[in-house]
Amino acid sequence: MEEKKVYIIFTDTGTLFTKLIKLYTKKPLNHVSISFDKQLTNIFSFGRKRPYNPFIGGFVRERIAEGLFKKARCEIYSYSLTEVEYQQMQTKVRQIEANKELYKYNFLGLIAIMLKYKLKRKNAFFCSQFVATILHEKKGIIEKCPSQCTPQDLLAVNNLELVYKGKLILYPQQESKKMVEHDYSFGKTMIYKSPDFS
């Protein structure tokens, strides 16, 4: 069976909100996203819906050269999966995106983590909780409950392979700007032209 890879993108956008989070975590990278292709044509997370308003958030598609990512520093890792696991993760993202108006950014969940309190909320995610939920489609990859996962917990996942480190906008595997974004709508076949916590 063909091996597939997902790509986990850890970033520091340098915003005031990110700096406040960094005061708590003492870590440089405090936002995390996920993509299903090496070119990062489609990047998914929970974050700001409007670049300069940290209080309006939810499910977002992020793009390398837009918004807060223009100046972001990053580390990008790949994780190998079976075809079945890969499809299960994609399906989970499609399901959330299809109902994105029902989902909120989980500010209360962030506060709960800081207070070391276990809080489960329906239809609410912060970035690392969302990515952990998607990765959780592969059994055993993460021991923690997704609602308790921080970006640092995801960085500690076994068998992550570093793909790139540096300015996100300089990521060498980007698609040409002439390439059209692939359809990632619920219920439609996804085809890849291969080869804002912020």
Q: pLDDT at position 139, please? A: 87
pLDDT tens profile 107-135? 999 889 888 888 889 999 999 999 999 99
Residue 147, classed as helix, strand or coil, is helix
Of 17-26, 78-87, 134-143, the range with the highest mean pLDDT is: 78-87
The dihedral built from the CA positions of residue 43, 95, 58 and 110, taken in this order, carries a sign that is negative
Q: pLDDT at position 179, please? A: 36
Beta strands in the chain (DSSP E): 4-12, 31-35, 43-50, 53-62, 73-81, 104-105, 124-125, 161-167
Residue 180 half-sphere exposure, CB side, CA atoms within 13 Å?
5
For strands 43-50 and 53-62, give the pairing.
Answer: antiparallel
Q: pLDDT at position 175, please? A: 58
94 belongs to a structural domain: yes
184 belongs to a structural domain: no
190 belongs to a structural domain: no
What's the domain range around 10? 4-170
Asked if 74 and 166 count as a contact pair (C-beta separation under 8 A), the reply is yes
As for how many domains the chain has, the answer is 1
pTM for this prediction: 0.84
Q: Which amino acid is at 149?
A: C
Banded model confidence at residue 26, pLDDT cuts 50, 70, 90 = confident
41 belongs to a structural domain: yes
Mean pLDDT score across all residues of the chain: 84
Determine the Cα–Cα distance for residues 83 and 142; give it in Å rounded to an integer. 19
194 belongs to a structural domain: no
Q: pLDDT at position 11, please? A: 95
The CATH number covering residue 127 comes to: 3.90.1720.10
175 belongs to a structural domain: no
Both tokens of residue 135? 């990765």
22 belongs to a structural domain: yes
67 belongs to a structural domain: yes
pLDDT tens profile 43-101? 999 998 876 676 788 999 999 888 888 889 999 999 999 999 999 999 999 999 999 99
